[in-house]
Structure 1
């Protein structure tokens, strides 16, 4: 690939970060159930705070809250001085007030177990929304320790791990969400699979390639084809000439997304003496509005392809026929090469398979592609997957 081609081949990440679940604060158990009561000394101030909270007098709450906390004598007093702020702060979408109340309530040590886990969960969401990732992580770790089998908590663990640049841990948390949902008899949530896929691809994790192929089997969209092909290109250690056959798969799946995709293909075709195919690819891109034929380098590349194609007087071979879309003649030429055997048999079988696949001969294409071995087998596998997605 040329330097210019490398510069145009941009990253192909797509955004699918795990979203934070909606904010909610569960009401803790009543004090009577805990064998505790508000102290007589604090009762008047807490009652005044309660009245203002019930009336949603949001402007009065800070001062009344401070007065209630100043009058508090016990952890129960302090907890309810904070807890009375939950509902009005949530209704007013006053995140700073809600965060202060929730973290204050946590600090009273009044709640334990799953109730305390819920407060840490809410605090984690609020801290994450404020881009305070370290504090969010501290809260969600506490929540997960207190209530490890809570799917909502694990979903937030995944979101926070992504922000911490810990993609493998984010995937582990999402897999736990899926397992907990399955154990609860819930149907599989396709969003979870997409999140796992996105994290693996965006962070180039080892499982990304397998996940991309699995995604293609259920959803062979142009976007998913592009991701799978680019992963195969990056990880396959293919020779430059072999990559042309991956680019041909992008063409077949209509998965080009702009200059960074088209340039290495067209550049490789012209460099390798296939101007007819380069002309055809560019013509398709111009017609589809994916490239501007009046701008460099496309104007110059197209002119070069047209000129070279018109001047080419050499005898056509399988590659030339394939590039021109004459799949019958291409197949005949490649079959002759296969019959000769030798070092070029794998390339001939691969391109025979491509020609037959493009002509609609699935059985013949499958047989040819399955015969490919060695370094080109990975590309053949991608074309076999393409055959499997065709009606």
Structure 2
């Protein structure tokens, strides 16, 4: 029974209604500040008529609209284009005409007269209009221009990333989200949780394991919920080739983070350990039953796992002291590691740590595997600093799991 991530690949970013900050310049005010504006006579006349109509209460859009269209059609100079676009955008907002809003913004942006401080906002809104109209190629161009023009709001990065994914450019999408996450971390204000989830969904679909790993770890630092822990760890497992030992250690972290959810999680865990680690199996099954996720139905597999584990616990525990003594005399650390694994399963973290250290000292074992479990034992016994030091020494494929453990340790009181 396989554990499955609950991340929805189609998770959508919420896009609020399009709104522009500072895109409604008043023509008369602009002209007072810039008396040398180069407006052709016909355009000036049309703009004046449109502005006068829009100044009425209520606004006379019926008169203003054709005059604005006349100004757009006759626009030649940069000032013609900027002011014709400005009044046209004002009219388009009044009439909720998004097509005209887009045309007006294009005209203003093409004029070269948009103030540098506002260019990022103009491009962002142009991207929003294109995104809303499902013109993702234009949206991609506009959001890219917005970022290059200095627009640093979180949503422009998220929307740009989503747009790139829709255009089949997931790696570029995650690069943008990485930039947004880095900026958010530097500011001390995390992105909305859905942004991380969307990034993980994009990376999962495209099988971009390293990128998903980074984003999920940032997600857990910002939003360490049980569901997020579960989804992050299972997504990591699904995107990476890990052996049974690695998967067991991943499930141990999931259990430690209280992120196990549903029958499949408990069943898969118990199935893997009920023979080798009966004490740990009993604990997992008991937790699953208490949570209402497992049932000890006569004749069922879970009941069989439980019965076999329970029947072996007494003898298994009785053998441990002799096994530890024998391990101390062994030529290498293989026996010490195996005995430590058993103590770890019974929750005797101090004895497990002692034997893992012995295994490392004697050698002949995979140091990264042993250090993973030594770190677990230390973390579970409250020795946070020593545990982090051990996890930080891990290299190779298990380095990712070590990083997840460090995140969990940092979140403990």
- Relative distance call for 1:287 and 1:55 in structure 2 (3 A) is farther
In structure 2, the partner of 1:354 is 376
In structure 1, the partner of 2:41 is 39
Separation of aligned partners in 2, 1:70 and 1:312 = 90
Q: CA RMSD in A?
A: 5.0
Note if contact 1:155-1:174 (Cα within 8 Å) is conserved in structure 2.
no
Q: How many residues align?
A: 372
Cα shift at 1:77? 6.0
Counterparts of 1:1-391 in structure 2, within 5 Å, are: 4-5=1-2, 8-10=3-5, 12=7, 22-28=19-25, 30-31=30-31, 32-37=34-39, 39=41, 43=45, 46-55=47-56, 61=61, 64-66=64-66, 68-70=68-70, 73-75=74-76, 80-90=83-93, 93-103=96-106, 109=111, 111=113, 114=116, 119-141=122-144, 148-152=148-152, 156=156, 159-165=159-165, 166-170=169-173, 173=176, 188=187, 190-191=189-190, 201-202=200-201, 203=203, 204=208, 206-210=210-214, 212-213=216-217, 221-222=225-226, 225-226=229-230, 229-230=233-234, 233-234=237-238, 237-258=241-262, 261-270=265-274, 272-274=275-277, 276-288=279-291, 291=293, 293=294, 300-312=300-312, 314-316=315-317, 318=339, 319=341, 321-327=343-349, 342-343=364-365, 350-351=372-373, 353-361=375-383, 379=401, 382-383=404-405, 386-391=408-413
- Specify which structure has the bigger relative contact order, considering alpha-carbon pairs within 8 angstroms and separated by 6 or more residues: 1
Cα shift at 1:243? 1.9
- Relative distance call for 1:170 and 1:344 in structure 2 (3 A) is closer
Separation of aligned partners in 2, 1:371 and 1:42 = 72
Separation of aligned partners in 2, 1:118 and 1:372 = 45
Cα shift at 1:240? 0.4
TM-score in terms of structure 1 length: 0.68
- Relative distance call for 1:250 and 1:136 in structure 2 (3 A) is same
Separation of aligned partners in 2, 1:168 and 1:334 = 40
Separation of aligned partners in 1, 2:265 and 2:108 = 54
- Relative distance call for 1:36 and 1:257 in structure 2 (3 A) is farther
- Relative distance call for 1:167 and 1:126 in structure 2 (3 A) is same
Separation of aligned partners in 1, 2:400 and 2:180 = 33
Note if contact 1:50-1:84 (Cα within 8 Å) is conserved in structure 2.
yes
Q: Which runs of 5+ in 2 are unaligned?
A: 321-338
Note if contact 2:5-2:234 (Cα within 8 Å) is conserved in structure 1.
no
Separation of aligned partners in 1, 2:246 and 2:43 = 82
Separation of aligned partners in 2, 1:320 and 1:371 = 23
Note if contact 2:277-2:345 (Cα within 8 Å) is conserved in structure 1.
yes
Note if contact 1:120-1:142 (Cα within 8 Å) is conserved in structure 2.
yes
- Relative distance call for 1:339 and 1:301 in structure 2 (3 A) is farther
Note if contact 1:174-1:192 (Cα within 8 Å) is conserved in structure 2.
no
Note if contact 2:196-2:216 (Cα within 8 Å) is conserved in structure 1.
yes
Cα shift at 1:249? 1.4
Cα shift at 1:102? 3.1
Which stretch of the first structure deviates more once superposed, 314-323 or 158-167? 314-323
Note if contact 2:248-2:269 (Cα within 8 Å) is conserved in structure 1.
yes
In structure 1, the partner of 2:329 is none
Q: Which runs of 5+ in 1 are unaligned?
A: none
Separation of aligned partners in 2, 1:104 and 1:141 = 18
- Relative distance call for 1:374 and 1:205 in structure 2 (3 A) is closer
